Amino acid sequence: MAEETVEVTKEEKMEAEGAENTVGGGEEKAATAELQYTMEVLPFIKEAQNQHGLKHGDYQRYRLYCARRLRRIRKALHFTQGHRSRYHKKPITSAVVKDVRFLHIPLINAERAWAIAMELKQLSNTDPRKRFHLLRRLQKAKKHALDLVNLCEEIPNCDARTKLEVSAYSSWINGNVLFEQQNWQEALDAFGNSQTIYQKLGNAVSEEQRPFYHQRVDEITPNIRYCAYNIGGLPNDVSDLMKLRTDAPGSDILAAKIDEVLAKTGEKVAASLTEVQWQGKALPIKNERVRVCLIKMNQLSSEIGAAKDVEEKMGLYEKILMECQDAIQIIRDEINQESSSDKKKSQKTEAIKANLQNLLDYLSHEKLSRSIERNLLLLDTLEQPKQAGQKSAKPEEFVRVYDILLQHVAELADSHTDLMEQKFVIAQSFYFKAFRCYYIAETYTAMKKWAEGVALLDRSLERTVEAIKHFQDWGQSEAEAHLVKLQKLQEKAKGKKCEVQVNSILESEGIEEKMEALSLHDKPLTNRLDDFDLKSPLPTRSNITLAPLPPDYVPLSGKPLFFDLALGHIEMPSLSHRAERRGGGLTGFVKGLFWGKS
């Protein structure tokens, strides 16, 4: 292993000053003898793992962090084991423990040894000798976990929850050791004990800490199922193993074990697969690797129906195509080897080459069929209505997929000799061509190329009629779904054609000039119903004018106006005799003298 550095980060300096005692309480609280020591083991280690590398599977970074933290805790507690030049071991006993941080020392030691073992597990794929070192490190982690359990039992101030957490953690470490040693029954008991304790604690802790316990229970469940699987024996069906492999992405030990057993089980099942039936022929399979590929293809095909969503199905199809391509490459290498060998041509060698060629045709047919199924699934995904805010698929995307499908169908047509299969392939070809012409027409109409759009829609309708005829001639029950889609396509194409023709008329060249040239001032038919003119031509739909547009103005009688003209000729009577006579006086005299009489 690489030498462990002791580089201290800013966060770790804060921990060295006292912040690292967040789990078990502060130094002042832990100093009193009456105070119970509480250590929440699982939240403590989970937070440390997520913050220091295990979120990305970096076990080296985590083990180096554990080494640095151990050094800081020992230094803060004045519990260092000697000096640089001399090592003096100081065991932790109940008499020594005066602070909850003393309990952190065996826990972090166990975590450090476990992290080293997981790092070695990643390296053991290329170097099998690393497994021996891995086992020694797991044993060391188990020893530190047992020391922690015994220490908590001896300390009277340690509360019940801490003892339960320590016991569950020790059982989990012990289960990993027994799992690696392939002691399935003992590992099952250890994992079961740990899972039971974590389930009980998960129901008792707060909402913030509950996800840690539920996550650990979910991590232990695949290990328990795998132990039970090994105790019950190896069945021929490997679906349970593959499901376990997908349910345990975080357990490196379990994933490696399942991969090993899957390989052995696949070889065992492949031994029973000696031939395949295709086009009425029994094709023997002598290559072991080709058998394994075919077994995996069949297994993955059976899982497509149980897939939950489209992404999972697409992933399974990708795996099937990869396995099929591997088998095809193996057969091609064998054919090239037979052709380039110095053996004399005989009836036996020719029969071997013919058998290999038939097997290659079968695998090519399977690959094309799976590719067609995958692309049809992709088309269903593109046709699904999008949610608010999502862009709908463009016609060019459909055209691209249908081009690929037509290419696959053309390759399939060359490999079929059965009459019914040939009818189905021909019907599929017209089916894909009809849809392809429709989506190309949509592409042209989006660019306002109306003439091309109408021509392509006519071609789509022709291909639709031919596809319906061939599917009816095929006569299988699977044709009903295709016929329903073709009828819907026929209705869509007719409606789209009418829309394109209308747009073509509205945007045709010279339409504005033709509208301006129309005469709207001829005498309309409503104004000459009593006239008969032999000179004018007979009215037709193009030259007849029924009514004036806009209608002509018609004079209407206005509202009468009254003018008062007699007033100037009337002599009004005198009203002077009715006027009041006002009295005189000095004031009146002066007023009349200057201003006159009123």
In a domain, 76, yes or no: yes
Q: Which of 481, 509, 537 is the last residue of a domain?
A: 509
Residues 6+ apart with CB under 8 A from 321: 367, 370, 371, 374
Is-cis flag, bond preceding 550, omega within 30? yes
What is the SS3 assignment for 284?
strand
Residues 6+ apart with CB under 8 A from 130: 120, 121, 123, 124
Same domain, 350 and 435: no
In a domain, 271, yes or no: no
Q: What's the domain range around 435?
A: 393-509
Same domain, 400 and 375: no
In a domain, 541, yes or no: no
Same domain, 43 and 145: yes
The overall average pLDDT reported for the chain is: 79
For 138, the token pair is 């797991």
Residue 316: HSE in the Cβ half-sphere, 13 Å Cα cutoff: 22
Same domain, 172 and 117: yes
Same domain, 7 and 134: yes
Question: Which of 372, 373, 391, 371 lies closest to 382, judged by CA?
Answer: 391
Q: How many structural domains compose the chain?
A: 3
Q: Name the helix (H) or strand (E) containing 301.
A: helix 288-304
In a domain, 318, yes or no: yes
Q: What is the pLDDT of residue 585?
A: 60
In a domain, 486, yes or no: yes
Q: What is the pLDDT of residue 346?
A: 63
Higher-pLDDT residue of 405 and 86 is 405
Contact criterion met (CB below 8 Å) for 283 and 291? no
d(CA 531, CA 524): 11
Q: What's the 3-state SS for 38-93?
A: CCCHHHHHHHHHHHCCHHHCCHHHHHHHHHHHHHHHHHHCCCCCECCCCECCCCCC
Looking at residues 111-125, what average pLDDT do you find?
89
For 34, the token pair is 């009456």
Same domain, 1 and 135: yes
Q: Which of 360, 383, 406 is the last residue of a domain?
A: 383
Please state whether the predicted TM-score (pTM) of the whole model is above 0.75. no
Q: How confident is the model at residue 67 (pLDDT cuts 50, 70, 90)?
A: very high
Q: What is the pLDDT of residue 517?
A: 57
Same domain, 370 and 414: no
Higher-pLDDT residue of 292 and 17 is 292
Q: Which of 474, 509, 544 is the last residue of a domain?
A: 509
Residues 6+ apart with CB under 8 A from 375: 401, 404, 405, 408
For 180, the token pair is 């690696």
In a domain, 545, yes or no: no
In a domain, 291, yes or no: no
Same domain, 145 and 51: yes
Q: How confident is the model at residue 353 (pLDDT cuts 50, 70, 90)?
A: confident
Q: What is the pLDDT of residue 151?
A: 92
Buried/exposed 141-155: b ≥16 CB within 10 Å, e otherwise: bbebbbbbbebbeeb
Q: What is the pLDDT of residue 250?
A: 47
Looking at residues 496-500, what average pLDDT do you find?
91
| Most confident segment among 7-11, 24-28, 493-497 | 493-497
Cα of 310 vs its chain's centroid, Å: 8
In a domain, 95, yes or no: yes
d(CA 304, CA 299): 9
Question: Which of 325, 299, 166, 286 lies closest to 240, judged by CA?
Answer: 299
d(CA 254, CA 227): 10
pLDDT digits (tens, 9 = 90+) for 327-340: 889 888 888 887 77
d(CA 141, CA 111): 7
Same domain, 456 and 347: no
Q: Name the helix (H) or strand (E) containing 278.
A: strand 275-278
pLDDT digits (tens, 9 = 90+) for 524-539: 777 777 777 655 555 5
Question: Domain holding 165: CATH number?
Answer: 1.10.3450.40
Same domain, 429 and 364: no
Question: Which of 257, 293, 291 lies closest to 273, judged by CA?
Answer: 291
Q: How confident is the model at residue 249 (pLDDT cuts 50, 70, 90)?
A: very low
Same domain, 19 and 125: yes
Same domain, 118 and 2: yes
Q: What is the pLDDT of residue 583?
A: 55
